[in-house]
Amino acid sequence: MSQTPRPPRRLADLSGTDPNRLSGISDGIFAVGMTLLVLGLLVPTFKSPPTENELWNGLVGLAPHALVYAMSFMTLGIFWLGQGTQLSRLARSNRHYQWIQLVFLFSVTLVPFSTALLGNFYWLKVALILYWLNILLLGAALLAALEYGLRAGLFREEGRTEMAHLMRGRILIAQALYAVATALCLFLPTWVSIGVIVAIQLNYALAPRIPFLYRF
């Protein structure tokens, strides 16, 4: 029997097959994004040389910006670790997986903007909701990469089932918690939502071995 000839390979079939390049651009974008966050902390300016009290009051006025800066730094740190864990389990890659990861990195580049917006208008619900939408996009893209990688057989077979269960659960639970925290601003001042988001991030950043909490 004659065999059906294989269709000619396209350049697209050869691109995006090196996971190391994805790791390289990811680290670079995260590094730039985390550095740009600090630009929201502007040194107070005065029309004349300030007194000690005036300088102190100016620094106190930066408190909302400093809190949102710390919150966003933790946000990017958590997603950097999450993406790095996923990439470390890759056996191979393809262009579709890498484009999904580029969408994830696109959402990373938006964090400095959503951070500056929330830092300047932290009392407005719109600013907080847009910040949450940025977090939602980060989580959705990372989950999409995980699910596609599983279907395409891109991850190493050893421990793949456990990895998929843990990563999927972490993303879904975290996004649910962020959504609940943001929804609080519909009934309470926005600073309550911001405080809850920071608490959620501290839980993921520190990963304490506290019953019930460490499972999330």
Q: Has residue 88 been placed in a domain? A: yes
**Structural domain of 93:** 17-36+65-215
Of 189, 200, 173, which is closest to residue 71 (Cα–Cα)? Answer: 200
Q: Look over the chain and give the mean of its residue pLDDT values, rounded to a whole number.
A: 85
Question: Are the CB atoms for 119 and 66 separated by under 8 Å?
Answer: no
In tens, the pLDDT along 31-81 reads 999 999 888 877 777 777 777 787 888 778 778 888 899 999 999 999 999
Q: What is the pLDDT of residue 91?
A: 87
Number of structural domains in the chain:
1
Q: Has residue 3 been placed in a domain? A: no
Q: Has residue 10 been placed in a domain? A: no
Q: Has residue 71 been placed in a domain? A: yes
Helix axes 125-151, 63-88, angle to 10 degrees: 10
pTM of the model: 0.84
Q: Has residue 162 been placed in a domain? A: yes
Q: Has residue 43 been placed in a domain? A: no
Integer Cα distance of 42 and 89 in angstroms: 40
